[in-house]
Copies of this chain bind each other. A is one copy, B any other.
Amino acid sequence: MIPDQAMETDILITNIQLPGRLGETPLVKDCSIAIKGEQIVRIGPADEFSSVSGKKIINGQNRLAMPGLINCHCHGAMTLFRGLADDLQLGDWLNDHIFPAEAAHATPEMVYWCTKLAAAEMILSGTTTVADGYFHEQEAARAFSDAGMRAVAAQGVIGFPAPGVVDPADNISAAGAFIDQQQADGPLVEPAVFAHSPYTCDPETLQAAKALAREKGVSLFIHLAESRSEPEMIIGMQGESPVRHLDALGILDPDTVCIHCVWVDDADLDILAASGAGVVVCPQSNLKLASGIAPLADMLARGISVGLGTDGAASNNSLDMFREMDLCAKVQKCRNLDPVAVPASRILEMATSGGAAVLGREADLGSLEPGKKADIILIDVDVPHLQPMHGVDLLVYGAGKAEVRTVLINGQLVMEERKLLRFDLAETMQRVRALAEVVYRSNHSGAS
């Protein structure tokens, strides 16, 4: 970097604040960020930018720039079922409400519009990358792509008839076809495989899903050790716990991402750490379904790569990563009555660079540095509930989605001053409401 050489860039963010380092000044004022194509090319104090010009200038006054949040676990299309069945046990919720609703309503059209609504909600709350998993995932991929949002889109594999895959024997080939198509479609949406869980997929299916993921060079996601009763439900259980089951089947490696991991013992954690597998904790969903609190401090102490996820809107009911960070920090403190268990700064890391590592994207996502993708959110810090800002912990304990004013993904503006630029939000909400009417009527048939 030679500060005095003229540099023309695509977007220049001026007058912006950057998070300071811990124990130093809470915010560093008067900085700039230059973006060229998909990348950040320069970031730092304004005086290093005297010779940098930008085709578009964004005035960052009263704004803090931070890396876009990375939501490592979501089922975007489930926005349709938001609030449909609250306050229930995981088993009842899945078997009596969610699986039947999905069988009846999860059409390609539903997946497209409801995922697009999820994308809107996520962009509006500062998430720039999501790891999504559902059925008809090509429609989810199309929705993220149309919204300008970065995603890992994982096609669901499950051991019973599912939306779009009537015969479970076709699961693997359907996932393979999805991956081939998506890899041809471009870089913003990356494909993957989502094997639902060891209690809905038998060992052969799990191994076939992992083999496919290895063959195509993509990640395998799986729900794992979510509820206390999971071991009793596992099909063809090998070993003494869900983690040991997957280990025995050869599923765990650095390209496998295990979602939840609430009910894991020390031996399980050692296995996860040795395997290099990623873990995603979803505290809101785990609390709402009363699954429990994942042993996050123990995971981090072992060096396990951990990301944060919202899960789907049916079990949260929000896709807001700010809410997720706040709750994650607080609930960990009560797990062992230890207020220093996982400090706020560590949670912020999980929601950014930690998430990037879980998705194998630590080289180009998760922080604001030259050479990384320009996935940037601008936060309004001139609001009462962020006064005063003694430290950046307040981004976890105080900031909320409404302060996210402007969002760039892959060097492109996708939201400016809370206006989504890539698609018609009103149309999307209207489409989802119309679909929800049908769900509501079929659940309350006979009622007015």
A407 within 8 A of B: no
Chain B residues lying within 8 Å of A429, measured Cβ to Cβ, are 382, 384, 387
Is A145 interfacial (CB 8 A cutoff)?
no
Contact B425 A384 (CB under 8 A): yes
Residues of B within 8 A of A132 (CB): none
Residue contact A83 to B343, C-beta cutoff 8 Å: no
Among A25, A338, A387, A429, chain B packs the most CB atoms within 10 A around the CB of A387
- Write the nearest CB–CB distance from A87 to chain B, whole angstroms: 5
Question: Does A340 sit within 8 A of B, measured CB to CB?
Answer: yes
Which residues does chain B contribute within 8 Å of A306, judged by CB atoms? none
Question: Pick the contact of A436 from B88, B284, B387 — CB < 8 Å?
Answer: B387
Q: Which residues of B contact A333 (CB under 8 A)?
A: 87, 287-290
Q: Residue on B with the closest CB to A337?
A: B290
Interface size for A (C-beta < 8 A) is 79
Interface string of A381-398 (1 = CB under 8 A from B): 010110111110110011
In the bound complex, do residue B82 and residue A339 qualify as a contact, i.e. CB atoms below 8 Å apart?
Answer: no
In whole angstroms, what is the CA distance A195 to B401 when docked?
Answer: 37
Q: Is the CB of B393 within 8 A of A83?
A: yes
Query: In the complex, what's the smallest C-beta–C-beta distance from A9 to chain B, in angstroms?
Result: 30
Interface contact A317-B397, CB-CB below 8 Å: yes
The reply to whether the CB of A171 lies closer than 8 angstroms to some CB of chain B is no
Stretch at the interface among A117-125, A241-249, A364-372: A117-125
Are A290 and B339 in contact, with the CB atoms below 8 A? yes
Residue contact A339 to B432, C-beta cutoff 8 Å: no
Asked if B287 and A331 sit within 8 Å, CB to CB, the answer is yes
| Pick from B90, B313, B388, B437: contact of A440, CB under 8 Å | B388
Contacts of A89 in B (CB 8 A): 339-340
* CB-defined contacts of A354 to chain B, threshold 8 Å: none
- Interface residue stretch chosen among A66-74, A214-222, A231-239, A320-328: A320-328
Closest B residue by C-beta to A342:
B87
Kindly state the separation between the CA atoms of A135 and B364 in the bound complex, as whole angstroms: 51
A350 to chain B, nearest CB (A): 15
A374 within 8 Å of B by Cβ?
A: no
Q: Are A384 and B317 in contact (CB under 8 A)?
A: no
| Minimal beta-carbon separation of A320 from chain B (angstroms) | 7
Given contacts A326-B323, A387-B432, A433-B387, contact A340 B87 (CB under 8 A): yes
Complex CA gap A336/B343 in Å reads 25
Contact mask A44-83 → B, CB, 8 Å, 1/0? 0000000000000000000000000000000000011111
Query: Interface centre among A81, A327, A428, by most B CB within 10 Å?
Result: A327
In the assembled complex, the CB of A97 is this many whole angstroms from the nearest CB of chain B, namely 11
Residues of B within 8 A of A334 (CB): 286-287, 290, 292-293, 331
Q: Apart from A290-B341, A320-B385, what 4 extra A-B contacts exist at CB < 8 Å?
A: A83-B388, A317-B397, A323-B326, A390-B440
- Give 28 CB contacts A-B under 8 Å: A26-B440, A79-B387, A81-B390, A82-B387, A83-B394, A84-B390, A86-B393, A87-B343, A87-B344, A88-B339, A89-B339, A90-B339, A93-B339, A121-B384, A284-B330, A287-B330, A287-B333, A290-B341, A293-B334, A318-B385, A323-B323, A323-B326, A384-B428, A387-B432, A387-B433, A388-B432, A388-B433, A401-B402
List the 4 closest A-B pairs by CB distance, nearest first: A388-B436, A402-B402, A287-B330, A290-B339
